[in-house]
Amino acid sequence: MSRFTDPLTGADAVGDPTAPELGGGEFSGAGDSQANDSDTVNKTGTTTVGIATEDGVVVATDMRASLGGRFVSNKSVQKVEQVHPTGVLTLVGSVGGAQSFIRTLRSEVDLYEVRKGQPMSMHALATLAGNFARGGPFFAINPILGGVDEAGSHVYSIDPAGGVMQDDYTVTGSGMQLAHGAIEGVYDREMSLDDARDLAVRAVVAASERDTGSGNGVYVSTVTDEGVEIEGFDETDDAFA
C-alpha cells in the first residue's frame, strides 16, 4: 500500500505491482480455492514440453485431463494457448487456475502493448507471470512460457510459488521425468525448427506411454517472430514435421 490515494475513489493510487490490473478476483495470497477438494478439481496431469532454437520455439503438450488421478475426464484438451502475439503458455495443474491465468495474461499483454506502443518482451511477460503465480488466486499451476522477441527465442518454466527459470528447453507436468529423458543429449540450440518439433513430440509420446496423467494425442505450437501456430493431433504420428 502506497501513501498515495486516488482523490476520487480513495483507493491506492500506486497499486499492487504484483497483482493483475483486471480480473484478479480477491488478490491477496492464495485464496480459499487452494483448499478445494483435489478429487473434484480437473487436473491436467500432463506433459508439456518447450524447446527454444535459433529460429523459434516449439511447445508440445498431451491432451488428457483427469479427476483425482483416476479418471480421464477429457481426451481432447488443448493445453497450449496463445497469450502474446509471439508467445504461448501451457496449462499445467488445475484447469480452472490455468485458464484464468491465461485470460489474465492475455489482457495484461494487450494493455501493455496499447499503452506503451510496443509488444511486451518475453522477460517482462515471464516476470509478470511469476508475480501473478506467487501472489494470486491462480493456484496450483506450473506452466511453460515460450516465445520470441527482439532478443530471440525463450522458454521459461513458472512454478506454483512464482519461481521463473529460463532454459534452452524445459518440461513440466506429471510426465516431466520421462519427457526429459527423451530430450536429454539430443537437443542442440542450432537444430532446425522441424527437428525441434519432432523432438518435442517424441518427448510427449514417451511420457504418454508410461505416465497415467498424460496421453490421448498431442498439441503442437510453433512460435516464430512471424507469430503463433497451434495444431492438435489425436494420432501422435501425424504430429511429426
Partner 1 sequence: MQDQNQQAYDRGTNIFSPDGRLYQVEYAREAIKRGTASVGVRTADGTVLAADRQVHSSLVEEQSIEKLHRIDDHIAVASAGHVADARQLVDFAREQAQVNRLRYDEPIGVESLAKEVTDYIQRYTQSGGVRPFGVALAVGGVDPDGTPRLFETDPSGTPYEWKATAIGGERETLQGFLEDEYRTDLDLDGGVTLALETLARSNEDIDPEAVEVSVVDTESHSVRSLEGDEVAGHLAELEGSDE
Q: Annotated active-site positions, please?
A: 46
Residues 6 or more apart in contact with residue 127 via CB below 8 angstroms = 164
Q: Does the protein bind partner 1 through residue 115 (CB under 8 A)?
A: yes
Q: By the 8 A CB rule, do 80 and 92 touch?
A: no
List the one residue from 15, 25, 29, 227 that touches partner 1 (CB under 8 A): 15
Q: Does the protein bind partner 1 through residue 165 (CB under 8 A)?
A: no
Closest CA to 48 of 222, 198, 226, 218: 218
List the one residue from 33, 127, 166, 192 that touches partner 1 (CB under 8 A): 127
Q: Does the protein bind partner 1 through residue 114 (CB under 8 A)?
A: no
Q: Does the protein bind partner 1 through residue 14 (CB under 8 A)?
A: yes
Residue recorded with cell 492475455: 106
CA atoms within 13 A on the CB side of 85: 13
Nearer to partner 1 among residue 8 and residue 35 (C-beta): 8
Please tell me the distance from the alpha carbon of residue 204 to that of residue 200, in angstroms, as a whole number: 6
List the one residue from 75, 116, 189, 210 that touches partner 1 (CB under 8 A): 116
Q: Does the protein bind partner 1 through residue 107 (CB under 8 A)?
A: no
Q: By the 8 A CB rule, do 109 and 132 touch?
A: no
Nearer to partner 1 among residue 122 and residue 176 (C-beta): 122
Q: What are phi and psi of 149, to 5 degrees?
A: -140, -170
The minimum distance between CB 150 and partner 1, in angstroms, equals 9
Q: Does the protein bind partner 1 through residue 22 (CB under 8 A)?
A: no
Q: Does the protein bind partner 1 through residue 124 (CB under 8 A)?
A: yes
Exposed (0-12), middle (13-18) or buried (19+): which is 145, by Cβ within 10 Å? buried
Binding residues for partner 1, rule CB under 8 A, total: 21
Give me the residues that bind partner 1 (CB under 8 A), please.
2, 4, 6-8, 13-15, 17-18, 112, 115-117, 120-121, 123-124, 127-128, 131
